[in-house]
Amino acid sequence: MTTDVLDTPVDGGFRLELPPALVSLSISRSAVRRVVAFRDSDAESSFLVALTEIVANAVDEHTRLGIDRAVVLEMRFGSDELLRVIDVGEGFSADRRSVRSDAPEPAVDPAERGRGLALARALVPGIAIETSDTGTVVTLPFAGFGIVR
């Protein structure tokens, strides 16, 4: 992830700044439902569960670290029909749960963490994750799920 990802204009889409709070889960689902025509109810459920898990992870990361900055939901239309969730937390590492050794411990047992990401990947196989010390960008493609209206 580049540090200027939030400064890059969105051509053929929009960007929502969501509060680092649980209300962002329903806001993100509502935004997607407003603009995507899903191919069927199973596709809609799968995509929205994956989205919920990704946004919940971002909100949890901001809350755990005391980051009072928005979690960003970005939708792109046209040739790149996709959704991105952007946070400015520590970033994610498969072999470590935290980038900083002084980060607060999660409220959830570390053995319980990471299941939402595994579930999201199973439901939306094309998920891409870019991470760095400045945060994480998770990209969920709409291909195979529906079309942006």
What's the average model confidence in pLDDT over 97-120? 59
SS3 62: helix
Using alpha carbons, select from 3, 9, 48, 8 the residue that is nearest to residue 25. Answer: 48
What is the per-residue pLDDT for 79?
78
Does pTM top 0.75 for this prediction?
A: yes
Pairing of strands 146-148, 128-132: unpaired
pLDDT in tens, 41-94: 999 999 999 999 999 999 998 998 899 999 999 999 887 899 999 999 876 655
Cα distances from 101 to residues 90, 96, 105, 113, 139, in angstroms, run 11, 10, 10, 17, 27
